[in-house]
Structure 1
Amino acid sequence: MRQVEEYQAVQAIAKEVLAEIGGTLIVSDTEATIARRAQQMLADRGITETWYYDCPALVLIGTRSCLSISGRNYVPADEPLGNFNLVTIDLSPCREGIWGDCARSFYFENSHAVREPEDTEFRQGKEALAILHARLQQFAKPDMSFDDLWRFMKDEIQELRFVELDFLSNYGHTIETNLAARSYIEEGNARSLRSVNLFTFEPHIRPAEGRWGFKHEEIYYFDGKVLCVL
């Protein structure tokens, strides 16, 4: 395993791009234009590779925010953003074999992205994601299994009156050096959290009666018994 600092450097670039790209969104943008812009913003910072098939930026707009699809099959759509919409952007940068992995939801109201949305469902989604990440940090312990974490999060999502959207019904994966080696936060995975170096938590959820799919992804690791965000 490479040093945590090497992963932090790549992840920091992904976070920087996601922090800046919201301010660039315009009503005529599409998944295709946003994905190209995100890829260029990564390249401008020295990241020209991706570990996730050939998909450095998986962007979903509108009702497609509920779509769960592998990067292997992803084709960005050309429907314009308009003046009110939801955008999710999931970046998968790679530099010299070091992975980053980071996703955010963008709330597009009155023709621009806002940090504190007025729309009720947008607010519900934003709050639910924050709650789930906070509960992960409260609950996760090195000796528990990925199955334990999966069961806990499944109950938490249901308690919040949301439904999971991931097509594989998992909530994250380990950070590896190749795709096939990934282990997942999924039912039946008895592997302990302490047995891995880094893992993502990336719930993809929709309100039970809602229309939008929300994402927020971070990479986590244990420093002793303390769960840390990369």
Structure 2
Amino acid sequence: MPTELQIAEHRKVQLAAKSVLNRLAPLITPDDTEQSIAAKAQEMIREAGYPETWYYDCMALVLLGSRSCVSVSGKDYSPADESVGSFNLITIDLSPTHKEYWGDCARSFVVENGKVTDAPQSLEFKNGLSFLRQMHAQMLAVVKPTTTFGQLFDWTNMRIRQGGFVNLDYRNNVGHSIATTREERQYIQANNSVKLGDVPFFSYEPFVRLKGGKWGFKHEGIFYFNQAGALEEL
């Protein structure tokens, strides 16, 4: 389990990422692109005091429109110039770092009538966002320190299938441990017998599309077990 110092320092970075996402959403216009949104996000996170990223050179991974279902590593990512327009889904994934402390936060934003909205009218948008919120809430309730990475992978993919969705991740995983180097990460993937309680923090980030649907949804947070063994989000 993490120390109080680790929790406090990781929380600072993660809260900065969350704050940038919240402030960025209403600034998105129909003329924006992945390139311009990524540039805005990078500028805002740097202004918040976090100029570095742990995720290769990819501080902000932005996917929208025809690429909303694309799963790509930050190592290979290059933002496109497709415009947001009046109706779209935009996923923004931020990965700031300060020393050995990481942030890792992603949200999908619905655009209707040219503006980001928290109350979409599209049924596919409603269902995608609602499904991920519910799955995160259920995960918080069922996961224990003795739960393995592989067990969480199996549970998540069962829920994805039962909900009528498909897993879009190119690695087919749904998260990873928060480490001090990229290479040390443990993935939430099949047959990983490492216990979640054996790492200080882990991210949970299912990336899903409704079967037969057009749009890819992601919601990511960082989690840890407190002294009582209960799972909390940073």
Q: Same fold by TM (over 0.5)?
A: yes
Q: What secondary structure, in the 3-state scheme, does the structure 2 residue paired with 1:11 have?
A: helix
Residue 226 of structure 1 corresponds to which residue in structure 2?
Answer: 230
Following superposition, the deviation at residue 144 of structure 1 comes to 1.4
**Which residue in 2 is equivalent to 1:215?**
218
Q: Report the 3-state secondary structure (helix = DSSP H, G, I; strand = E; otherwise coil) of the residue aligned with 1:118.
A: coil
Tell me the CA shift for residue 65 of structure 1. Answer: 1.0
2:97 partner SS? strand
Provide the rounded CA distance (Å) in 2 between the counterparts of 1:88 and 1:126: 12
In structure 2, C-alpha distance between the alignment counterparts of 1:176 and 1:194, rounded to whole Å: 14
Q: Which residue of 1 aligns with 2:75?
A: 72
Which amino acid in 2 is paired with 1:76?
Answer: P
Indicate conservation of the 8 Å contact 1:170/1:185, yes or no: yes
Q: 3-state SS of the aligned residue for 2:176?
A: coil
Cα deviation digits, residues 110-145 of structure 1 (max 9, x gap): 010001111110001011111110111111011111
Matches of 2:98 and 2:6, distance apart in 1: 14
Q: Which amino acid aligns with 1:129?
A: L
Distance in 1 between residues matched to 2:96 and 2:48, nearest whole Å: 11
State the AA in 1 paired with 2:182.
Answer: L
* Distance apart, 1:95 and its partner CA: 1.1
Q: In structure 2, how many angstroms separate the alpha carbons of the residues matched to 1:96 and 1:200?
A: 18
SS at match of 1:184: coil
**TM-fit CA distance, 1:3:** 1.8
TM-score, L = length of structure 1: 0.98
What is the identity, as a one-letter code, of the residue corresponding to 2:43?
Q
Distance in 1 of aligned mates of 2:202 and 2:61:
19
- Structure 1 residue runs of 5 or longer lacking an equivalent are none
Q: Is 1:32 matched up with 2:35?
A: yes
Which residue matches 2:142?
A: 139
- How far residue 103 of structure 1 moved from its aligned partner, in angstroms, is 0.1
1:162 counterpart residue number: 165
**1:4 aligned residue:** 7
Q: 1:144 and 1:95 mapped to 2: Cα distance?
A: 29
Structure 1 residue 97 displacement after superposition? 2.2
CA contact (8 A) 1:92 1:100 kept: yes
- For 1:65 and 1:204, the matched residues in 2 are separated by 10
Return the alpha-carbon distance in structure 1 between the equivalents of residues 130 and 215 of structure 2.
Answer: 14
Report if the CA contact (8 A) 1:30-1:80 is conserved. Answer: yes
Name segments (4+ residues, structure 1) moved above 2 Å.
none
Check the 8 A contact 2:89/2:110 in 1, yes or no: yes
Counterparts in 2 of 1:198-213, with a 5 A limit?
Answer: 198-213=201-216
Q: Is it true that 1:193 corresponds to 2:196 in the alignment?
A: yes
Q: Percent identity?
A: 45
Contact in 2 for aligned 1:63/1:213 (Cα 8 Å)? no
Contact 2:65 2:82 in 1 (8 A): no
Partner of 1:117, secondary structure, is coil
Shift of 1:213: 0.2
Deviation digits for residues 70-94 of structure 1, max 9, x if unmatched?
0000010001110110000000001
What pairs with 1:31-180 in structure 2 (closer than 5 Å)?
31-180=34-183
Deviation at 1:96, TM superposition (A): 1.7
Q: Secondary structure at the match of 2:85?
A: coil
In structure 2, what residue type is equivalent to 1:227?
Answer: L
RMSD value over aligned CA atoms?
Answer: 0.8
SS in 1 for 2:124: helix
